[in-house]
Amino acid sequence: MIFSLMKKDYPIIGLNINEEGKIQNISKNTKYGEYLPLAYRNDTKGLQKWWNERSTPSTQGFIEKILKEQGLSCPSEYLMNNLGLSLTDHYWIKPVDSNLTWKSVNLFENDFKNEILFQHTETPNKTLSYSPNSSLQGNLEKSWNILNGERVLIKGNHDERSIEAINEVIASKLHQMQKYENYTEYELLKVHDKEYTYGCYSKLFTSNELELVSAHELLSSEKQPNDLSSYEFLIKLAVSHGMREETVRSQLEYQIMTDFILTNTDRHMNNIAFLMDENNDLISMAPVFDTGKSLFVDQYDIGDTKGLLSIKINSFKKNEIDMLKYIENKDIVDLTKIPDAKYIRKMYEKDGKIEKRYIDRVCDAYEKKVNICRDFQLGKDLNQVRIAIRKHEYEDRENSNRLAPRL
């Protein structure tokens, strides 16, 4: 089947896609090449990788059910049937013999059917047959839905406890207390027919005029010089596409500090992003989003000194504490205006499936991380911060082992 890769109503390049949604051939002729996905403007052969990465991962919670219900063989076929549409950008594929237009298919202006049933979602009377869920990234169960007339992303959890959903709300509370404006607000949503009690939802922050460009895309658009770190290279690229350097540095430093406080281990390059306008200019950083992998959710040595010294993360650095080296403005977060451990305890106690001993350990470790940040802000170098961690270690190691979270 022959399609045109489109950016809104601009035909970019021809694609030959088989019945399973796999790209078999890419045309050598490019029209409106300036509208190609950023990472592949100089390498159209890479579009096959772009298309593969665009489809919902086979490991995502709901995808097997959707494929079975619709009689589809794989996620790429699901993506093709939905014309590659997304709520994060303006790309889609148009069958060459069709009269479809962006206005008639885009999901920003046209309502869509909710395929994945969470409580309180609605399906308007007049909907498209296309879904934005065929291009959702990540392994966590999630779904674009229409709630009270607005497009929202509802996210679940990896197990029967609602920890990740609650963590998103805790992060929202932190940003709110900081009076930081550029963040994504998450709210809890009680769900039914799931093993967990709560999911969370956030409103769409892209639009028919603004699309999302991840740090991963930006970093992939040019070859990185040997004398620049990925962190500095990202800033340089963002500036070359229209951003002010101080704006980028400020939000990155804010994210690093708040991620450290919350022990967010998953600030990878798809969880840092920018907003691009219709002139292909970056006009702002995207609101801070996706902080569910926080507060030791994947840690099995919560509060243990060795653990706090060596928390592994997925970001610019492999070790969490090394990220502090990037922070120039140490006072970018006001530590007198953050959620206290009592608030975290109160939020976790909403879910009866989260054990008290787990909550105790998280709250204790959270307070310790705040103390470390305070030491850092007072001007101690990283080695002194490491010493401070040892100073603030638990008095009773045996108690720490006794309270180890269940596997």
What average pLDDT does this structure show over 152-171? 96
Total of domains in the chain: 2
Residue 186 has pLDDT above 70, yes or no: yes
Residues 126 and 226 in one domain: no
Q: Is the pLDDT of residue 389 over 70?
A: no
CA distances from 337 to 293, 300, 329, 396 (A): 22, 28, 17, 30
* Per-residue model confidence (pLDDT) at position 343: 98
> Strand runs (DSSP E) across 281-377, as ranges?
282-285
Q: What does the pLDDT read at residue 287?
A: 98
**For residue 191, is it within any domain?**
no
Largest CA distance in the chain: 72
Of the given ranges (62-71, 133-142, 339-348, 358-367), which has the lowest mean pLDDT? 62-71
* CA 107/CA 294 separation, integer angstroms: 31
Residue 79 CB partners (closer than 8 Å, separation 6+) = 21, 51, 54, 55, 56, 134, 135
Query: Does residue 222 sit in the same domain as residue 321?
Result: yes
Per the domain annotation, does 258 fall within a domain? yes
| Same domain membership, residue 230 and residue 113 | no
Q: What range does the domain containing 325 cover?
A: 211-402
Confidence of residue 117 (pLDDT cuts 50, 70, 90): very low
Please, which pLDDT band fits residue 134 given cuts at 50, 70 and 90?
Answer: very high
Chain mean pLDDT for the chain? 90
Q: Are residues 215 and 96 in the same domain?
A: no
Q: Do 252 and 379 share a structural domain?
A: yes
Task: Classify residue 370: in a domain, yes or no.
Answer: yes
- Which pLDDT band, with edges at 50, 70 and 90, does 120 fall under? very low
Q: Has residue 334 been placed in a domain? A: yes
The one-letter code for the residue type at 99 is: N
Question: Domain for residue 281, yes or no?
Answer: yes
Q: Is residue 279 part of a domain?
A: yes
133-156 mean pLDDT: 91
Q: How far apart are the C-alpha atoms of 132 and 88, rounded to whole Å?
A: 9
Winning range, highest mean pLDDT, from 160-164, 190-194, 391-395: 160-164
Helix axes 341-348, 356-377, angle to 10 degrees: 150
Of 140, 155, 170, at which residue does a domain stop?
155
The residue from 115, 136, 155 where one domain ends is 155
Residue 375 and residue 250 in one domain: yes
Whole-number pLDDT of residue 388: 62
pLDDT tens digits, one per residue of 203-227: 999 999 999 999 999 999 999 999 9
Q: Are residues 215 and 144 in the same domain?
A: no
Say whether both 235 and 381 belong to one domain: yes
Is there a single domain that holds both residue 280 and residue 356? Answer: yes
Q: Decide which of 135, 155, 175 is a domain's last residue.
A: 155
pLDDT of 102 strictly over 60: yes
In what helix (H) or strand (E) does residue 190 lie, and over which residues does it extend?
A: strand 187-190
For residues 129 and 244, membership in a common domain is answered with: no
* CATH at residue 366: 1.10.1070.20
Is 160 domain-assigned?
Answer: no
More confident residue, 405 or 79: 79
Q: What is the pTM of this model?
A: 0.91
Asked if pLDDT for residue 392 goes beyond 80, the answer is no
Predicted pLDDT of residue 407: 45
Q: Are strands 150-155 and 142-147 parallel, antiparallel or unpaired?
A: antiparallel
pLDDT tens per residue, range 230-250:
999 999 999 999 999 999 999
pLDDT band at residue 395 under the 50/70/90 scheme: very low
**pLDDT score of 5:** 96
The pLDDT, as a whole number, for residue 2 is 95
- What average pLDDT score do residues 173-188 get? 98
Output the pLDDT for position 351. 97
For the segment 306-317, the average pLDDT, to the nearest whole number, is 86
Residue 181 lies inside a defined structural domain of this protein: no
Weakest mean pLDDT among 32-41, 74-83, 142-151, 392-401: 392-401
Q: Say if residues 284 and 277 touch (Cβ distance below 8 Å).
A: no
C-alpha to C-alpha distance for 146 and 385, rounded to whole angstroms: 46
Cβ contact 244:282 at 8 Å: no
Is there a single domain that holds both residue 145 and residue 228? no
Regarding whether 228 and 117 lie in a shared domain, the answer is no
pLDDT digits (tens, 9 = 90+) for 38-97: 988 877 778 999 999 999 998 887 788 888 888 999 999 999 999 999 999 999 999 999
